Each structure stands twice: as C-alpha cells, then as structure tokens.
C-alpha cells in the first residue's frame, strides 16, 4: 500500500467496491469493514467480501468471507490483494473486540453525546496513518447522505450555480459517539464514559427518542446512579415500561437512588405486585418512607412531597446543624431549609440555609428560626399547593398532618411538574 | 390526561375480564381505525362514486377481497411497529441502505404531494356544494389543518381524528335514505360477476389502488410506535386494524350503494364526487346531497391533516432528521419546513386559476404505482427478518397469503401503471 493515497477516506469509498487478485481478476465486492475497538479511534483490521456470484451458488450470503487488512496490497487505483490463492487468504472473523461497521454503524441511529441528540449515520470518515485506516468521524450531514446516494457532485454543482454555496460536512468525532447496537452497549466502561458526558435530563430525552429495544439496551448499560437520575426525568409511561424490563434486584437499587417523591410516583404507576417486589428488595428504612408516600393520592400535597429532608431538634446548635447538613446533603432532595421539630415530630419552625450561614455558630436553631411557619396539610389539593408557592415565594413548603406533625416537604421541582407536565 | 390515567387504573383493577378487555381496547384503539378511515379520502370517495354510477352494484363483491388484502397488509405493519418500536422508513433505511431509501423517499414525497392536492381539491368541491367559494374554503382548511397539528398534542389530535371517523356515518345515513333493494344487494354479494370488459377491469384495479396506498403502511406503523403499544397488548392493536378495515369497507359499500341506486338507475354519468353529490338532489332530495358533500369535506380535511404529517415523519425518520410536533422549529427545521411546504403548496396549487388537475393526479398515480411494489416487497422482507422480528415473523401459511396478496396487488398496480403510460 503506497503511492497516491489520500489522507482521508469515507466508508462509501469502500462499500461495494470490487476486490481484485494481483492478476486483475475480480474476487468479489466489499460488503463490510471490520474495525478493532480501540480508544479513542478504532482501527480497520479487515474486510468482509461478498464473492462474485457464480451460477451454482444460490445463497451467496452464506459464503461471505473475512480478509485481514494485511492481505490487501494496495487500495489505489483498485483494491488489490497480495496473494493469488484465495483459500490462503480466507479466515474467520477474529475473536478480538470488533465492530462490523456496515452492520452496526452505517445507517443506524447513534447517540451524539456531545450534542445530546439521536442522529442517523450517513457515512464514516477515516484517517490514513501509513498503511492503516482509523475511524475518526461519523458523518451525519446532508453531504454524507448525497455521497451515499451518488449525487454529491450534482448537488455541489447545483448549490454552486444557484447560491455559490458549499455545503460543509457535518462530522461527529468518534469519541462522542455512542452506538445503540448490542455489542457496544455491552462494553460497559466505554458506554459509561460517553454517556456520562450527558446531563440526566438530556439523557432522558434521548432515551425517550429511541425505540423500545434500544431504550432498554441503553438503560441497562447505565450504572445505578445515572439510571436513577435519568429515570426521574423520563416520561411516566416510558418509566414504567423501562422498570418492567429490568430484573427486580436492579430495579430496587435504582428506585432506592431516586428522589423519594419521584420514586413514589413511579411505584404508584406499577402493578401492585411488582411495586411490592421492588420495595421488598430495598433498604428497610427507604422502603418504609416510600410506603408512607404511596398512601397519598397523586393530586394532593401528600402525593407531591418527598421524605428526603433534614429535620432537627430545637436545641441543636448552628454548628451541629451545619455539620449534619453537610453529612446528609448527598441524599437530600431539599437542601434549602432545615425543619425544626420536637420529639413528637410536631413542626416548630424552619431555618433557611441563609439563616444558618449568617448566624453565630453557638446559637441554637430556636433562636434563629422564622417566627411563623407556612405549611400545607397532607390532603390539600395540588392547586392550593401551587398557590402557596406563588404567594410566599418559598423554594420548599413542609407538609403536616392534623396534629401539625411534619410528614414531608414539597420541593419547587414538584410544583413545576404540576404546572407544566409536558415541558422538558 | 388525568382522567385517562384513572381510567387506565380502573381497567387494570377491574376483575371482570370482559370489561377489562373492552376497556383496554378503548385505550389502545385509534391507529388502525384512523388509518383505514383516512383511506376513504377524496380520491377514494370519487372512485367509489364512479364505480356505483357506472356499474351499479355489479362490482360491489370486490370490496370483500380488497378488505382481506388490506387487513393482511396492515396487520404486518402493526406487528412490525409493536415488535421493533421503529417506523417503517427507519427500518427500510437500516436494512436496505441510504441510496434506495433516498429514492423511495423522493417518490413518496411526490405521490403524497399529489394526494394532498387532491384532498384540498376535494374539500373545495365539497364546500362549493354548500355555496362556499374555494378562495375562502381552501385557505381556511389549510390553516385549520396546519394549526391543529402544530398546536395540538398526539392525544388531542388523535381524538379529533376519531371524531372525524364518526362523521363517515353521513354516508351510511345517505345509503339508508335512498331505500335500496336489500335483496338485490345480497344477491350481488353471493353471485360475484366480472366480465373481462376493459372498463370494468380498470375500475376494479382503481378500487384496489385507492384502498391500498403506500403512505398508509408508513402512517399506521408510525402511529402504533407513537402510541407505545407493547407486545403483550398486540392483540388489541390487531383487532383495531381489522375493525378499521371493516369499517372503511362498510362506508365504501354505502357510497357505491347510493350511487348505484340513484345515478346508475337513472343513467346519469358523473366525473367527480361533487357531480355525484349534486346529481343526488333531484333523485333523493337535498339532504342527501348535503350529507354526501359533508362527508366529502370531512374526508378531505381528515386526509389533508394526516398525509402531510405522515409524509414528513417518514422523510425525517429515513434521512435522520429530528421530527415530532413536540419539537421547536429550530430543533426540527426540516420537519416543520416539509410539513408547511406540503400544506401550503397543496392548498396554493388549488387556488391557481385553470389548474391542470388531471395531469397532476395522473403523475401522482404513476409514481404511486412505482413506489407501492417496492414498499410491499420491503415489508415482506422485513417482517421475515428473524433478527428484527424474533419469534414474530410470518408463519408459513400467513406468509403465503401475504406474498400472494402483495403479488396480486403489485400486478394490479403495474397493470394500471402500464395502462396509464
């Protein structure tokens, strides 16, 4: 492989091109390129060739064969093999970690983890380094599509003539590509790294855009924490379908990681048996919290609230409160306020994080708490809750029962879901 | 939305299996019934009217084999949608590659564009019966259609469409008003007759062509996917498809019946559905005319809302552009661009004076004839792909029926196609 080589090649330069013997006789046509999965850019290690159809063979598909890249002597002006004897060239697909580019990548949907979208692959872009090709970009643009159709030149001329415009290529670096076909998602570590570029809300949008099978594949590939974060943002109907496809133990782990108010909403939508199974696999304490939340109808304050908040006794000092807040922050939904309750869980007052930051470290919470606490009752209608938020401008409002005992807290996010259920 | 959820809960909690089944069906119905009813669009109503007016009840038996063919083909699409969760054009792109998909998409765009034009022509003609000028009715219809889809959600749009389906009843009412001789009708079903008279053959082929169109397969599969029907709920989707195909043929039957009982008996020749509506006045009274024209307007608007949307979805899915009415314009410019282009071009062409409507329709039918065989063959290859459909591929008997049906339809289409050139 040598003279007159370009620096860059496209997959469409290879697909269906003839492969020749050194003598010039045709061996067959290229039906696929095989790449070895390597970071960051996979290397082409061979071709799959569809042999020239002979009269006898009725099912040519079964006789496609693999040729290692080393057997290719040159690719310009025509693809020529280094040896005459075909049987010596034929080998089976290597055991290594490979990607079949035509079968798994071309024309398929992929996740562009940089732009946070699902896109369809039109072509692949290779960089030549010495005699080897590395896959560096996927082409998702209109130019790539026209190249595949065979009208790239025509389109160029037309655009030049009409608008003096050159349509640029639209490339996505392979680093940011997440495939949706089976083998790539099994590569957990790779998927993890790529999908972790995404904000959970973007990841949720992407999952919603995919078909059922791809959805569960990508969801399976996520670690528990990412899965929980994404699940919180996903449309309830799809949430339900996803949680039904995974094993109960994993579902329990994921639901445990979710914010209690989202988790309760999800469990309420599931068939009772399934919900019980999931609750059964969770930590006792979390499960009990969720069971309590599940009792309340969706449209009431009780249905909106979460149990992941911090409540402390009136005598606690600011210093201790800060320490507790810092320690529990990772598991809290409500970080803006600390609720002051007595031994009977009766709500005494509320301390905002601002109060906490501006107070002396030895003051007790009773000394700095707001004199009047705004709260809502468990069975209050959700619209009343929204009104309370609008009126007082709080970021969270506590929920109490008839005895004024603190049962949960409604965060601002839950209110947004009531107001704009279809947004995001 | 909230109500629907409670309803869903009630259904899943319901112990009595019959009610549970009926309830589930009502939640899952829609795609099949809507797709089939859109099939009775302006072009369909015209063809049925002509069949009734020219041949009376003679060809009415052909509705039964056509109905079976429609069920066979639609069922495969519904199954593919449920099992793969992807649209037909996406599946075609993934299996057959960019090149052929691109040309298929161009063909679908052209033939559907022709259909959209004929829908707006149908709406204009129907409104003219009520004395509304086309310069008022067409822009108004175009705006209504555009607004409903751009401003609506899938659920609200589907409900509007299901209500539109109810208005097809107007044809059944008309059919009863004209008091047909039912014994004779039954006799025509029991003793099917077809002479090899070329004009009769052409009419049967026309009936097949208007009933089985390529866009339907794309639309049905896409709406099944959009609805998120799961594999274990598939039997409801299948029932929906069968029910839809039956309903559409009942409506077709009544249209043919009305024209046969009035126009054919009195030897009146017509060329369009509007002619049919107007000719009914002296024979069956003005209410018949109004009902017939109202049905035409309803059907045309209904199809004019679905065709551009379905076409745009299939283009975007095949070529990898973002699509969906829940996206903003900047997120999905191609989607909104094509959608608006189809509606406003379709409506605009109708307003053009001395419009050469016949050549446009002719061209659109020719492309239809080229696209349909490809779509049917692709469908059969896809549905028998083990990797894609897993255990839900066609069984040997169904596969034979499906291939035979498809080949017969392809034969008919090519026949019509060659006849036109």
The angle that helices B2-13 and B17-28 make with each other, rounded to 10 degrees, is 150
Q: Do B319 and A145 touch (CB under 8 A)?
A: yes
> Considering CB atoms only, which of A140, A211, A271 is closest to B320?
A140
pLDDT for B5 equals 46
Instruction: Catalogue all structural domains in chain A, each as residue range(s) with its CATH number.
Output: 199-295 (1.25.60.10), 310-419 (3.10.580.10)
**What does the alpha-carbon distance between residue B223 and residue A143 come to, in Å, rounded to a whole number?**
30
Q: Which residues of B are less than 8 Å from A106 in CB distance?
A: 97
Q: Do A106 and B319 touch (CB under 8 A)?
A: no
Residues B159-183, mean pLDDT to the nearest whole number: 75
pLDDT at B13 exceeding the cut of 60: no
Q: Is A404 left (phi over 0), alpha (psi -120 to 50) or beta?
A: left
CA atoms within 13 A on the CB side of A191: 22
Q: Do A109 and B326 touch (CB under 8 A)?
A: no
Helix (H, G, I), strand (E, B) or coil at B311: helix
pLDDT for A54 equals 60
Residues A341-360, mean pLDDT to the nearest whole number: 87
pLDDT at A60 exceeding the cut of 50: no
**What does the alpha-carbon distance between residue B129 and residue B290 come to, in Å, rounded to a whole number?**
7
Name which of B17-21, B136-140, B364-368 the model is least confident about: B17-21
Query: CA A56 → CA A52, A60, A64, distances in Å?
Result: 11, 10, 15
Chain B interface, best mutation among A145, A204, A294, by max B CB count within 10 A: A145
**Structure tokens given for B88:** 């037909």
pLDDT for B9 equals 52
Q: What is the DSSP string of A190-253?
A: HHHHHHTTS-HHHHHHHHHHS-HHHHHHHHHHS-HHHHHHHHHHS-HHHHHHHHHHS-HHHHHH
Q: Comparing B393 with B89, which gets the higher pLDDT?
A: B89
Q: Which residues of A are less than 8 Å from B230 in CB distance?
A: 212, 241
**Structure tokens given for A176:** 């940011």
Q: Name the β-bridge partners of B144.
A: none
pTM value is 0.78
Helix (H, G, I), strand (E, B) or coil at A423: coil
pLDDT at A3 exceeding the cut of 60: no
pLDDT for B109 equals 92
Those residues with Cβ within 8 angstroms of residue A397's Cβ, 6 or more apart along the chain or in another chain: A374, A375, A376, A385, A388, A389, A409, A410
Percent of chain A exceeding pLDDT 90 equals 1
CA atoms within 13 A on the CB side of B150: 16
Residue A156's pLDDT band, with cuts at 50, 70 and 90, is: confident
Name which of A10-14, A182-186, B3-7, B404-408 the model is least confident about: B3-7
pLDDT at A8 exceeding the cut of 70: yes
Residue B1's pLDDT band, with cuts at 50, 70 and 90, is: very low
Residue of A nearest to B93 (CA): A107
Q: Residues B383, B80: contact at Cβ < 8 Å?
A: yes
What is the per-residue pLDDT across A395-418, written as a single tens digit (0 to 9) for each? 899 998 888 888 889 988 888 878
Residues A27-55, mean pLDDT to the nearest whole number: 82
Q: Do B85 and A106 touch (CB under 8 A)?
A: no
Residues B199-228, mean pLDDT to the nearest whole number: 81
pLDDT for B144 equals 84
Q: Do B322 and A150 touch (CB under 8 A)?
A: no
pLDDT at A33 exceeding the cut of 60: yes
Q: What per-residue string of b and e applies to A182-194 under the rule 16 or more CB within 10 Å gives b?
A: eebbebeebbeeb
**What does the alpha-carbon distance between residue B408 and residue B397 come to, in Å, rounded to a whole number?**
17
Helix (H, G, I), strand (E, B) or coil at B164: helix
Pairing of strands A406-411, A396-400: antiparallel
Name which of A24-38, A187-201, A233-247 the model is least confident about: A187-201
Q: Which residues of B are less than 8 Å from A205 in CB distance?
A: none
Q: Do A241 and B225 touch (CB under 8 A)?
A: no
Chain A interface, best mutation among B3, B98, B335, by max A CB count within 10 A: B98
Residue A185's pLDDT band, with cuts at 50, 70 and 90, is: low
Residues A265-270, mean pLDDT to the nearest whole number: 85
Residue B84's pLDDT band, with cuts at 50, 70 and 90, is: confident
Alpha helices (H) in A30-111, listed in sequence order = 86-89
**Structure tokens given for A319:** 């210093």
Residue B154's pLDDT band, with cuts at 50, 70 and 90, is: low
**Which residue is associated with the tokens 């940011």?**
A176
Nearest to A353 by CA among A375, A328, A331, A322: A322
pLDDT for B12 equals 52
Q: Which residues of B are less than 8 Å from A109 in CB distance?
A: 90, 320
pLDDT for A16 equals 85
Q: Comparing B39 with A87, which gets the higher pLDDT?
A: B39
Q: What per-residue string of b and e applies to B387-419 under the rule 16 or more CB within 10 Å gives b?
A: ebbeebbbeeeeeeebbebbeebbebbebbbee
pLDDT for B105 equals 92
Chain A interface, best mutation among B320, B328, B335, B386, by max A CB count within 10 A: B320
What is the per-residue pLDDT across B175-192, written as a single tens digit (0 to 9) for each? 777 677 777 777 777 777
What is the per-residue pLDDT across B259-268, written as a single tens digit (0 to 9) for each? 887 777 777 7
Q: Do B12 and A271 touch (CB under 8 A)?
A: yes
A180 has a chain B CB within 8 A of its CB: no
Give me the residues of A, 80-139, that contact B with CB < 8 A: 106-109, 117, 119-122
Say which DSSP state A381 is in.
B
Percent of chain B exceeding pLDDT 70 equals 86
What is the per-residue pLDDT across A298-350, written as a single tens digit (0 to 9) for each? 788 888 888 888 988 888 888 888 898 899 888 888 888 989 988 888 888 88
pLDDT for B92 equals 92
Helix (H, G, I), strand (E, B) or coil at A421: coil
Nearest to A342 by CA among A400, A414, A279, A272: A400
pLDDT for B315 equals 92
Q: Comparing B182 with A123, which gets the higher pLDDT?
A: A123
Q: Which residues of B are less than 8 Å from A422 in CB distance?
A: 153, 326
**What does the alpha-carbon distance between residue A112 and residue B135 come to, in Å, rounded to a whole number?**
47
Total beta-carbon pairs less than 8 A apart between chain A and chain B: 53
Output phi, psi for B357, to 5 deg. -65, -40
pLDDT at A59 exceeding the cut of 60: no
Residues B147-157, mean pLDDT to the nearest whole number: 71
Nearest to B385 by CA among B84, B85, B14: B84
Query: CA A268 → CA A226, A295, A332, B1, distances in Å?
Result: 22, 9, 21, 16
pLDDT at A88 exceeding the cut of 70: no
Q: Do A212 and B320 touch (CB under 8 A)?
A: no
pLDDT at A86 exceeding the cut of 70: no
What is the per-residue pLDDT across B357-413, written as a single tens digit (0 to 9) for each? 667 776 777 777 778 888 888 988 898 888 888 888 888 888 888 888 888 878 877
pLDDT for B310 equals 87
Nearest to A206 by CA among A186, A187, A224, A191: A191
B→A contacts (Cβ < 8 Å), by residue, are 1-2, 12, 84-86, 90, 93-94, 97-99, 101-103, 153, 225, 228, 230, 319-320, 322, 326
Instruction: Catalogue all structural domains in chain B, each as residue range(s) with its CATH number.
Output: 24-420 (1.20.1740.10)
Is the CA virtual torsion B233, B234, B240, B242 positive or negative?
A: negative
Q: What's the ipTM?
A: 0.73
């Amino acid at each position: 492989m040598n003279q007159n080589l370009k620096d860059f090649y496209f997959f469409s330069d290879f697909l269906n091109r003839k492969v020749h013997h050194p003598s010039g006789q045709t061996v067959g046509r290229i039906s696929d390129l095989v790449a070895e999965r390597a970071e960051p850019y996979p290397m082409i290690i061979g071709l799959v060739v569809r042999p020239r159809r002979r009269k006898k063979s009725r099912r040519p598909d079964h006789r496609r064969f693999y040729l290692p890249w080393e057997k290719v002597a040159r690719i310009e002006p025509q693809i020529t093999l280094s040896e005459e004897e075909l049987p010596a060239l034929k080998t089976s697909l290597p055991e290594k970690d490979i990607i079949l580019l035509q079968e798994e990548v071309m024309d398929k949907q992929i996740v562009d983890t940089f732009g946070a979208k699902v896109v369809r692959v039109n072509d692949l872009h290779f960089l030549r380094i010495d005699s080897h090709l590395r896959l560096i970009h996927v082409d998702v643009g209109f130019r790539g599509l026209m190249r595949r159709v065979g009208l790239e030149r025509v389109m160029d001329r037309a655009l030049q003539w009409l608008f003096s415009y050159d349509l640029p290529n639209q490339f996505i670096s392979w680093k940011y590509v997440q495939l949706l076909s089976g083998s790539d998602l099994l590569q957990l570590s790779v998927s993890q790294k790529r999908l972790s570029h995404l904000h959970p809300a973007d990841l949720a949008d992407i999952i919603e855009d995919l078909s059922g099978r791809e959805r569960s594949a990508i969801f399976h590939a996520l670690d528990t924490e990412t899965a929980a974060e994404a699940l919180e943002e996903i449309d309830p109907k799809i949430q339900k379908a996803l949680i039904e496809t995974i094993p109960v133990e994993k579902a329990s782990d994921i639901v445990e990681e979710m914010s209690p108010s989202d988790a309760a909403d999800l469990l309420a939508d599931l068939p009772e048996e399934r919900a019980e199974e999931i609750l059964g696999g969770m930590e006792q304490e979390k499960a009990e919290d969720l069971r309590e939340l599940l009792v309340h109808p969706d449209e009431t304050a009780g249905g909106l609230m979460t149990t992941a908040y911090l409540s402390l006794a009136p005598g606690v000092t600011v210093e201790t409160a800060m320490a507790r807040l810092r320690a529990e922050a990772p598991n809290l939904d409500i970080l803006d306020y600390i609720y002051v309750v007595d031994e009977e869980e009766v709500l005494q007052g509320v301390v905002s994080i601002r109060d906490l930051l501006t107070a002396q470290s030895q003051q007790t919470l009773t000394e700095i708490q707001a004199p009047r606490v705004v709260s809502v009752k468990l069975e209050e209608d959700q619209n009343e809750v929204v009104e309370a938020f609008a009126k007082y401008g709080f970021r969270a409002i506590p929920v109490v029962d008839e005895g004024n005992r603190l049962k949960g807290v409604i965060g601002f996010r839950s209110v947004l879901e009531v107001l704009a259920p279809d947004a995001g | 939305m909230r109500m629907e959820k409670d309803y869903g809960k009630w259904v899943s909690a319901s112990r009595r299996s019959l009610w549970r089944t009926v309830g589930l069906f009502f939640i899952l119905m829609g795609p099949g019934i809507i797709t089939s009813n859109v099939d009775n669009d302006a072009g369909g109503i015209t063809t049925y009217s002509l069949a009734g007016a020219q041949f009376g009840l003679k060809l009415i038996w052909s509705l039964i084999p056509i109905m079976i063919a429609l069920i066979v083909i639609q069922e495969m699409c519904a199954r593919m949608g449920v099992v793969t969760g992807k649209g037909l054009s996406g599946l075609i792109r993934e299996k057959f590659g960019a090149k052929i998909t691109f040309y298929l998409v161009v063909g679908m765009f052209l033939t559907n564009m022709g259909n959209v034009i004929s829908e707006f022509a149908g709406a204009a003609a129907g409104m003219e019966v009520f004395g509304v000028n086309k310069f008022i009715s067409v822009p108004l219809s175009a705006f209504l259609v555009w607004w409903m889809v751009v401003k609506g959600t899938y659920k609200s749009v589907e409900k509007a469409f299901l209500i539109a389906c109810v208005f097809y009843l107007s044809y059944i009412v008309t059919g009863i008003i004209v008091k047909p001789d039912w014994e004779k009708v039954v006799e025509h079903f029991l003793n099917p007759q077809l002479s090899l008279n070329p004009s009769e053959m052409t009419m049967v082929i026309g009936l097949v062509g208007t009933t089985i169109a390529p866009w339907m397969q794309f639309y049905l599969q896409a709406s099944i996917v959009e609805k998120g029907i799961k594999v274990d709920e598939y039997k409801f989707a299948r029932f929906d498809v069968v029910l839809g195909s039956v309903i559409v043929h009942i409506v077709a039957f009544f249209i043919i019946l009305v024209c046969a009982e009035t126009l054919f008996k009195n030897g009146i020749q017509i060329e369009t559905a509007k002619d049919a509506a107007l000719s009914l006045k002296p024979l069956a009274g003005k209410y018949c005319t109004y009902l017939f024209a109202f049905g035409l307007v309803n059907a045309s608007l209904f199809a004019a809302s679905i065709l551009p949307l379905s076409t745009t979805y299939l283009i975007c899915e095949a070529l990898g552009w973002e699509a969906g009415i829940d996206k903003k314009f900047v997120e999905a410019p191609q989607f909104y661009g094509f959608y608006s282009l189809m509606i406003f071009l379709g409506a605009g062409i109708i307003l053009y004076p001395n419009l050469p409507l016949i050549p446009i329709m002719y061209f659109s039918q020719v492309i239809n004839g080229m696209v349909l065989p490809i779509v049917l063959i692709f469908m059969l290859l896809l549905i028998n792909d083990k990797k894609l459909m897993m255990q839900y591929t066609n069984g040997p008997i169904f596969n034979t029926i499906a291939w035979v049906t498809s080949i017969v339809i392809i034969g008919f289409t090519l026949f019509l196609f060659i006849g036109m050139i």
